[in-house]
Amino acid sequence: MSVTVFVDTNVLLYARDSSEPKKQRLAEAWLSHLWRERSGRLSVQVLAEFYVNATRKLDPGMPPEEAWDDVRSLMTWRPQQTDVATLELGREIERRYRIGWWDSLIVAAAQLQGCAVLLSEDFQDGAVFGGVTVRSPFSLAMEEAAADYSVADRPRELHRGRGRPARSQPVTRRSA
């Protein structure tokens, strides 16, 4: 069973950054794995950050057309929109965990997409935010992610759904 992994901007950038060949190889391997497994997730925020940083901050910067091709490809990963639910959850995360606003939106997007792992170098490796565990792409093996973070099958429901409770014995009318 494959685990759903939220990918932060820095992983996408390292995959395109030839100035750090070791990190580039690892980031590329992670992205290839997530494409094969169809288990990568991200957000519109991540795509926007990637585009800006890839075209303006990488040295040498990517041509805008090439960076946009990457963004278009990654849109198939069903990016989480920055909508009201994301903002509300982001604010709750910001207050609860005392992390920065933009990071709280990343965590919110990962939670809303049901991700078990947030692949990022920008958070503390091993930090847990409400069921989402942050792992560095440079210290976590892909096999470890699949084994350690896979979700167990849900147990059979122990309680009935809403409505009237079931009667254990038929009711008989008593005569007056």
The runs of H, that is alpha helices, within the chain are 9-16, 21-37, 44-56, 64-74, 84-97, 101-112, 142-148
Indicate if the pLDDT at residue 171 is higher than 70. no
Indicate if the pLDDT at residue 130 is higher than 90. yes
Indicate if the pLDDT at residue 169 is higher than 90. no
d(CA 132, CA 32): 22
- Residue 59 burial by Cβ neighbours in a 10 Å radius (0-12, 13-18, 19+): exposed
Structure tokens at 85: 């639910």
Mean pLDDT, the chain, whole residue set: 86
Write b or e for each residue in 19-47: b if 16 or more Cβ atoms lie within 10 A of its Cβ, otherwise e.
Answer: eeeebbebbeebbebbeebebbbbbbbbb
Contacts of 106 (CB under 8 A, 6+ apart): 6, 8, 43, 45, 46, 118, 120
What's the pLDDT score for residue 59?
A: 86
Give residue-wise pLDDT tens across range 61-109: 999 999 999 999 999 999 999 999 999 999 999 999 999 999 999 999 9
Task: List the one residue out of 44, 41, 38, 47 whose CA is nearest residue 9.
Answer: 47
Contacts of 102 (CB under 8 A, 6+ apart): 45
d(CA 47, CA 67): 10
